[in-house]
Amino acid sequence: MTTDLQTYLLEGCGRCPLGGTPGCKVQPWRTVLEGLREVIAECGLTEQMKWGVPCYTYQQSNVLVMGALKHAATLSFFKGALLGDPQGLLVKPGPNTQAARYLKFTSLAEVEQHAADIKAYVFEAIEVEKAGLKVEFKRNPEPIPEELEQKFAEDPLLKSAFESLTPGRQRGYILFFSAPKKAKTRFARIEKSVEKILNGKGLHDGYRR
């Protein structure tokens, strides 16, 4: 997993085998990501690498991460659901996502055009942290195993990806993870499923290259 920003911009997050290849999602958006970084640098957040991507924190609380999708560069807010969106720019990652929201950009010119808007979203996200606000999550019908909750606490991006899955896919994973009697086996099942979840796949979905 990538641990420094320059490597991220050159080779990607390191979470999949495509890092450093033309298939890496980061490669087409390097200039746009650098532009976004310049804007965020003016907002007073601390920059560090988490989960292989640039993460920005306020007093050690995660505020947003910078990343790349196939069709755009993104800024993803951990508590985006609590932000006002007068410009209508925030995107909900999936129908089941409860907290995260992201901004997407496809050119450096677009970043420059919306620089003031980006800062406004970031400053509001900082105020959310200062106020100690939290997103109230709706419970899944199936109880989430303790080991999965622990993994979510360690990896908020995994949590966001899981919440973006359809209810049926979420339930499939929860039942699969909960089945073993030993915690060690439950952890092992979760670890083996991380890549699929991050790629929006269900337990029995295959990969397409």
Task: Output the DSSP codes for 173-189.
Answer: HHHHHHS-SSHHHHHHH
Question: What pTM does this model have?
Answer: 0.73
- Positions in the chain whose pLDDT score sits under 50: 207-209
Which residues are 101's β-sheet partners? Answer: 77
Q: Are residues 152 and 160 in contact, defined by beta-carbon separation less than 8 angstroms?
A: no
Q: Which residue in 67, 72, 96, 91 sits closest to 80, CA to CA?
A: 91
How far apart are the two ends of the chain, measured CA to CA in Å?
21
Which tokens is 131 given? 């106020």
Which tokens is 25 given? 């999602």
- In whole angstroms, what is the distance from residue 98 CA to residue 118 CA? 21
> What is the distance of C-alpha 18 from the center of its chain?
18
CA distances from 133 to 108, 128, 153 (A): 32, 6, 17
pLDDT score for 208: 44
